[in-house]
Amino acid sequence: MNLTPIFNHHLRHAQIPRLELLFGEAPGMVMHKWSADEKDFSMPVRVGSPDHWQIIHPTRRWQAMQTSLSIDKFEVATDLHYVDINKQ
């Protein structure tokens, strides 16, 4: 895995990466992407619930994933990642 874009973002930009989560397009579906200043930024992150984490690999383009969790139950492991979260 090329970590250069991750380090470049954290070292060269003031804003921390923001994980954009978009719920409601279809039942059981969540769209996700990174909002980051580095062009090739892509960082895996754990999502779901603490008793059943799932690792996703968001990029700067929208991607879809299936989930049985509602917007209020869907969590991001922010204790493991220095990121901002935007749930809609």
Q: In whole angstroms, what is the distance from residue 4 CA to residue 24 CA?
A: 34
DSSP per residue, 39-77: TT----EEEEETTEEEEE---SS-EEEE-S--TTT-EE-
pLDDT at residue 26 is higher than 70: no
Q: Residue 21, SS3? A: strand
Please tell me what DSSP assigns to residue 20: E
In this prediction, residue 25 carries a pLDDT of 64
What amino acid is encoded at 55 in this protein?
I
Q: In whole angstroms, what is the distance from residue 21 CA to residue 48 CA?
A: 12
The mean pLDDT value for 14-42 works out to 89
pLDDT at residue 3 is higher than 90: no
In this prediction, residue 4 carries a pLDDT of 79
pLDDT tens column, 35-88: 998 888 899 999 999 999 999 999 999 999 999 998 889 999 988 778 899 999
What amino acid is encoded at 26 in this protein?
A
